[in-house]
Structure 1
């Protein structure tokens, strides 16, 4: 049996290559904190049924406590960090089948596990497999095993939309599925990429909408004004907004 070692490998790579970005509030710092409490190789991974209690920590709200959040986000794919909830993985599977995207843009690569997951699912679920393009500043954190013929990683500082390759975006075929999991200049990037989106394309904003602060509420008003609608199948399939992207599974009209 091969146990997942993605979190340990990511932690070591991040400390080595990006020591200046390991702030507690930063994306890399958050991932390191998660890796310190989630270790798939720990000795108590396997337990006897009689040693386990029967109380469930699941609650109608998606992340009721730290233990549930850590467990949900500790999922790996082919040994690499994926950091997506089981709910959202099921939803993305359905959306890829329904949309048949020719292009998936992933903002935020982390270790490359989610990009690899998307590429594998494109190859299985789509009649015409497309391309996955994943963008992140911290490209040295991408694991050497995150390889797929449909997957390309790009080192891009997402804090400035001018860093995108406009010629690349113009040539990528539609439909598009854009997943923002970078948490950097969310609505500035949305406004920029919207110029390249076509009717029927999807744009999913992960995690940040769970805060529902003024920036998010104002930003989602901008989204509405830009001609996007919430696809409530995906937000409410498991219960009202039981997803890491509440009110943010968006389809361009």
Structure 2
């Protein structure tokens, strides 16, 4: 994993060379505030789901009003729907650079806009070019422009986990980034695909955790039992759980 570095050295140099600016109220005070966010090497970055608590869902709202939500839902990439918030697009860019995934599994294809965006990110940010595998039953919705040498679309009914090709899953190279944006059988699929993930792989569950109901809380208990930790850098980078995947940027321990 590629991690941020150099912030401690930067802070020490600032104290030495610009003492006036590092006094209380100085121009560099903000570094203290953001250091726990930008420094991804902090020791408490990974947390058990049970340690986050119910209240953590409500510390920040991704969509404070209707116009913000409408704007996010209207996002496009190269003319195709890519329904992800600007915050999450930035977070995925950071994670792809950090993780260097060889495989991205996307559950829910829609027009193929997000698969195209993921493929372009892989081609720019990764040293070893990977592949995007996108799964959906409605492959007729995929736009002809959603083509890329690194994308593979699969027609799969996600309501039944038996429809996944286990031979395919067993042979896809790691690290993996799994993105569930299908909202179908969320935790049964997580439990099934989790068996194929290895230490360091990521699994992101979008949208459904924003409900924060009993099903979600019980599902995250399953997450913990399956050996996954919440990566709090990604859940909290813009404020506690200011993401479409609150408490659901998950890394296999």
TM-score of the two chains, using structure 2 as the length reference = 0.76
For residues 44-63 of structure 1, the aligned pairs below 5 Å read: 60-63=60-63
Q: Kindly provide the CA deviation profile for residues 198-251 of structure 1, in whole angstroms up to 9, marking residues without a partner as x.
A: 000000000000000111100000000111000000000000000000000000
| Alignment-derived partner of residue 157 in structure 1 | 157
Q: How many correspondences in the alignment?
A: 195
| Alignment-derived partner of residue 24 in structure 2 | none
Q: Kindly provide the CA deviation profile for residues 116-140 of structure 1, in whole angstroms up to 9, marking residues without a partner as x.
A: 0000000000000111000001100
**CA–CA separation in structure 1 for the residues paired with 2:210 and 2:196:** 26
Q: CA deviation at 1:66?
A: 1.7
Q: CA deviation at 1:61?
A: 1.5
For residues 1-253 of structure 1, the aligned pairs below 5 Å read: 60-253=60-253
Q: CA deviation at 1:60?
A: 4.6
**CA–CA separation in structure 1 for the residues paired with 2:135 and 2:61:** 30
Q: CA deviation at 1:72?
A: 1.7
Partner SS state of residue 157, structure 1: coil
**CA–CA separation in structure 2 for the residues paired with 1:123 and 1:239:** 29
| Alignment-derived partner of residue 55 in structure 1 | none
Q: Kindly provide the CA deviation profile for residues 48-75 of structure 1, in whole angstroms up to 9, marking residues without a partner as x.
A: xxxxxxxxxxx95211222210112211
Two-structure CA RMSD over aligned residues (Å) = 1.0
Partner SS state of residue 198, structure 1: coil
**CA–CA separation in structure 1 for the residues paired with 2:229 and 2:73:** 27
**CA–CA separation in structure 1 for the residues paired with 2:240 and 2:195:** 30
Partner SS state of residue 134, structure 1: strand
Q: Kindly provide the CA deviation profile for residues 77-126 of structure 1, in whole angstroms up to 9, marking residues without a partner as x.
A: 00000000000000000000000000000000000000000000000000
Partner SS state of residue 251, structure 1: strand
Partner SS state of residue 119, structure 1: helix
Structure 1 segments of 4+ aligned residues over 4 angstroms from their partners? none
**CA–CA separation in structure 1 for the residues paired with 2:60 and 2:162:** 41
